[in-house]
Chain A
């Protein structure tokens, strides 16, 4: 394993020293930060509430608000105010000393964020007086679809770019003929392949969590995220090999990477736009299954059984592609 680790460390050092690769590694995080700026308006479809501890003690109002959106509890008013002043839309609800409820707003919130808390409070506080009966239907979505799809797409982008980092490091080996030097050492073939793949496995494992944290999706099942990312790294490694096998230099590597972005787009568009019966046309894309997996995890609707099922598709398709290209890969590197 020493050799595998050394190859990984070499690739990491080399990648950090090359602007293009450094950008590829950092791009998903930069995109997530930019995306976060747009999320407030996207998230306005889903309501968010910040309540103080006093309000939270009133289980009746707490449960009522929870039915309409996500609720965050703050111990003191300063923290609540800081949260309301954040970039996204969130309505603050506090209980005043006279027992009345007050809505705290920044002033630039969307119409729904301003009006709906009022309506909820009015309904709650006056429902006995009105003596009305009503039922609430919850569709189960606490995140806006745009935020959810954006996050899953960013994760897929991370996987593809990590694959490109593998690919470009391989191209460096090809261009510099450095593999000849390694081939006359006791290094084994599997150590080289695993060492080269490590950056594509470890990098997404870190970046995916950073993206989820940046996009306020830390509520997700972390173990499921880990499993899905690890499974999808098979696809990342495959991307890396595809880019390097068909590219003799960085320029052709960039061109091939652009081509590989097409199936990525197809899988996202296919999963979102096609009817379930038509989605069979994108079943052959491992990125499709990966997208479904991450989308499900972000929605909190994923089961371990589904992860296993999607994982089988991803690994099966990736392995199939490796088999198809094995001679080409051998000729290129070994």
Chain B
């Protein structure tokens, strides 16, 4: 669905690249996570892909269409949910969607249906300027679905949302994937990426460090650990034991034989831990 080859971009038109030699492919119906800390080059890459920044060097195609020559057909295919609430604050939520849908030349979704999906039906006739940050975020998200995009760009879609709403948004993303949408998810939230993505790319200092599925990354980089909580007289103690190390295995056997274990969970490395391991810095 999307092919990126040797992508470079410099804001100063010199060799100080914000993104450098980025290449990846995203298959149809795949959720691809683009993970990296602030300033890593996530937004720059996404802006180039959606046409907000010019393509200086490299090749990018969406559904076989070269983004250097963007067509009406290409823009009808894509949907973008921005991180910032870029809405018309003096228009109501419904008016925002009604206005935006008229920009497309393909059949569009019913705005009220979308507002209902994101839980904004009660606020449909309220001015967007009076919305809370989370409501604005949901309206931006709903707007991005108006043209039923085949290629859907999501920039921090659950940022600023409460857990219930975030869960609802995740459900919608899964549903859209089932319906055949290809999703490019930009985030620094590793939990979201872990839950939603088929594959993730780690971007750091403008370069992609690795691309793989969260499961493979955990298998490759994670240590097989067990978290054990056991009774010691009147108190409880929590221990992390590796099942690969002989000394930890013996300790685990000992605790099992003692019969003092209260809880036991297998532990796997988080994407954030893997990111730190790969890049040497955190995602924040």
Please say whether chains A and B are actual partners in one complex: yes
Whether, in the assembled complex, A178 has its beta carbon less than 8 Å from a beta carbon of chain B, the answer is yes
Cβ–Cβ contact B99 & A187, under 8 A: no
Whether, in the assembled complex, B174 has its beta carbon less than 8 Å from a beta carbon of chain A, the answer is no
* Contact of B86 (CB < 8 Å), options: A3, A6, A176, A185: A176
With A184-B51, A184-B75, A184-B78 given, is the CB distance from A3 to B103 under 8 Å?
yes
Chain B residues within an 8 Å CB radius of A9: 99
Whether, in the assembled complex, A127 has its beta carbon less than 8 Å from a beta carbon of chain B, the answer is no
Whether, in the assembled complex, B87 has its beta carbon less than 8 Å from a beta carbon of chain A, the answer is yes
Q: Which residue of B lies closest to A192 (CB)?
A: B103
Q: Which residue of A lies closest to B99 (CB)?
A: A10
Cβ–Cβ contact A180 & B76, under 8 A: no
* Contact of B76 (CB < 8 Å), options: A18, A183, A186: A186
Interface size on A, residues (CB 8 A): 21
Cβ–Cβ contact B91 & A6, under 8 A: no
Q: Which residue of A lies closest to B73 (CB)?
A: A186
Whether, in the assembled complex, A17 has its beta carbon less than 8 Å from a beta carbon of chain B, the answer is yes
With A14-B88, A176-B89, A177-B86 given, is the CB distance from A184 to B50 under 8 Å?
yes
Cβ–Cβ contact A182 & B103, under 8 A: yes
0/1 string, B57-85, CB within 8 A of A gives 1:
00000000000000010011010101010
Cβ–Cβ contact B104 & A185, under 8 A: yes
Provide the bound-state CA to CA distance between A217 and B231, in Å: 98
Whether, in the assembled complex, A331 has its beta carbon less than 8 Å from a beta carbon of chain B, the answer is no
Shortest beta-carbon distance from B270 to chain A in Å: 32
Whether, in the assembled complex, B30 has its beta carbon less than 8 Å from a beta carbon of chain A, the answer is no
Provide the bound-state CA to CA distance between A3 and B99, in Å: 9
Within 8 A of B (CB), among A50-96: none
Interface of B, secondary structure class, is loop
Provide the bound-state CA to CA distance between A252 and B87, in Å: 22
Cβ–Cβ contact A180 & B52, under 8 A: yes
Interface of A, secondary structure class, is helix
Q: How many A-B residue pairs have CB under 8 A?
A: 63
Which of B50, B72, B78, B86 gathers the greatest number of chain A CB atoms within 10 Å?
B86
Cβ–Cβ contact A181 & B82, under 8 A: yes
Provide the bound-state CA to CA distance between A168 and B233, in Å: 73
Chain B residues within an 8 Å CB radius of A185: 75, 100, 103-104, 147
0/1 string, A15-35, CB within 8 A of B gives 1:
001100000000000000000
0/1 string, B203-241, CB within 8 A of A gives 1:
000000000000000000000000000000000000000
Whether, in the assembled complex, A2 has its beta carbon less than 8 Å from a beta carbon of chain B, the answer is yes
* Contact of A186 (CB < 8 Å), options: B52, B88, B103: B103
Shortest beta-carbon distance from A283 to chain B in Å: 39
Provide the bound-state CA to CA distance between A9 and B104, in Å: 16
Cβ–Cβ contact A186 & B90, under 8 A: no
Provide the bound-state CA to CA distance between A13 and B88, in Å: 11
Cβ–Cβ contact B91 & A184, under 8 A: no
Whether, in the assembled complex, B198 has its beta carbon less than 8 Å from a beta carbon of chain A, the answer is no
Shortest beta-carbon distance from A66 to chain B in Å: 53
Within 8 A of A (CB), among B28-70: 50-52
Provide the bound-state CA to CA distance between A187 and B72, in Å: 8
Shortest beta-carbon distance from B105 to chain A in Å: 6
Shortest beta-carbon distance from B34 to chain A in Å: 17
Whether, in the assembled complex, B191 has its beta carbon less than 8 Å from a beta carbon of chain A, the answer is no
Within 8 A of A (CB), among B144-191: 147
Whether, in the assembled complex, B125 has its beta carbon less than 8 Å from a beta carbon of chain A, the answer is no
Chain A residues within an 8 Å CB radius of B5: none
Which of A9, A13, A172 gathers the greatest number of chain B CB atoms within 10 Å?
A13
What are the 9 tightest A-B residue pairs by CB atom distance, in nearest-first order? A185-B103, A186-B72, A177-B86, A186-B75, A6-B102, A17-B90, A184-B80, A14-B90, A187-B103
8 extra A-B contacts, CB within 8 A, seeds A13-B91, A181-B100: A10-B88, A10-B99, A181-B143, A183-B51, A184-B51, A184-B78, A185-B104, A186-B105
What are 24 A-to-B residue pairs whose CB atoms are below 8 Å?
A6-B99, A6-B102, A9-B99, A10-B99, A13-B91, A13-B95, A14-B88, A14-B91, A17-B90, A17-B127, A176-B86, A177-B82, A178-B88, A180-B52, A181-B100, A181-B143, A182-B103, A183-B51, A184-B75, A184-B78, A185-B104, A186-B76, A186-B104, A187-B103
